[in-house]
Homo-oligomer: A and B are copies of this chain.
């Protein structure tokens, strides 16, 4: 029950196991285009282009930066954990003059602080804002709708890490004006890790045109040119894209609003159950991600022992904290192919694990 790789349905695994077909065939082209259309459905966008890369989530975060940030550009990075920090580091790597607003572990970005920061930028020197929707390292989720509204008013380009939120939480690319949105296959998409997804708005294309940073594999222009010919510029991960088509069939059968409400329910039930067990959670309810929950160990019990007990007695992997939170919290993922049954099981097992460690 880690926050990625997440569970993969057997029907998807069986698609992945089929012999890869030629990537320049009509057969594959149809599958590819169907996935592109379903990506747009998932991100609630008609206006943005969607692309698929053979890459991890970090690769497509770099794609977002390399296609929009030129050396010297002012970038504001909203950091609420490891992955927010990573977005800032990538922008720095590409020569961005990066400022950050950083929230404490488990907290989210205060809209008033963002508004104040941007209102001081009278000459619109801040070109790009990066934001993490759901922060995997803490289980906190920013109020993306409110924050994106503030950025839109200012006019900077908005780059969104939706790696653990897309396919799990509501993401409205067109309505909220999200310019570049990135995600990855091993999260809400119910696939193994290996595909990165990118959405590119009309405004992002303007930035791409003027962006002086070098890029080739992740260059949006090459992807778009090939997409117009119903193909990819470089050999795609054929097997996973065939698996993705199957995953989308499952998602569309459930329905997007049902997927979102299921994750919301799983989160709430897990959090309530954990609190009943006397556990303290890292995030407040109002800031909680629907994808992952971070939990403090009870007094006198340490995180490695908890993880070992889950693994040894129940064959369940839960994640440790990352970076400064290592050994301070443990994390349970509940995104993608996860049901109410899994949450009840997680709660029962957690109760037994703690009982054993405390006795």
Give per-residue flags for A63-107: 1 if the beta carbon is below 8 A from chain B beta carbons, else 0.
000100000000000000000000001100111000000000000
CB distance A236 to B193 under 8 Å? yes
Q: Is A273 an interface residue (CB 8 A)?
A: no
Residues of A whose CB lies within 8 Å of any CB of B are 2, 4-5, 7-8, 13-14, 16-25, 54-59, 62, 66, 89-90, 93-95, 184, 186, 192-194, 213-217, 233-240, 317, 319
- Give 16 new A-B contacts, CB below 8 A, not counting A4-B235, A5-B21, A55-B59: A5-B20, A5-B23, A8-B19, A8-B20, A16-B17, A25-B317, A54-B56, A55-B217, A56-B217, A56-B236, A62-B216, A66-B214, A93-B214, A93-B216, A192-B237, A193-B235
A358 to B89, CA, bound (A): 62
CB distance A237 to B58 under 8 Å? no
Q: Give 5 nearest A-B pairs by CB, closest first.
A: A17-B17, A194-B237, A5-B20, A20-B192, A58-B234
Q: How many copies of the shown chain assemble into the complex?
A: 2
CB distance B54 to A194 under 8 Å? yes
A91 to B74, CA, bound (A): 27
Q: Give the residues in chain B near A192, CB-CB below 8 Å.
A: 20, 237-239
Q: Give the residues in chain B near A235, CB-CB below 8 Å.
A: 4-5, 56-58, 184, 186, 193
Q: Could you list 27 examples of A-B contacts with CB < 8 Å?
A: A2-B22, A5-B235, A7-B19, A8-B19, A8-B20, A13-B18, A13-B19, A20-B186, A22-B317, A54-B194, A55-B59, A56-B234, A56-B237, A59-B59, A59-B217, A59-B234, A62-B217, A89-B216, A93-B215, A95-B214, A184-B235, A192-B238, A192-B239, A193-B235, A193-B238, A194-B239, A213-B214
CB distance A17 to B13 under 8 Å? yes
Q: Give the residues in chain B near A94, CB-CB below 8 Å.
A: 214
Q: Give the residues in chain B near A56, CB-CB below 8 Å.
A: 54, 217, 234-237
A186 to B5, CA, bound (A): 23
Q: Give the residues in chain B near A7, CB-CB below 8 Å.
A: 19
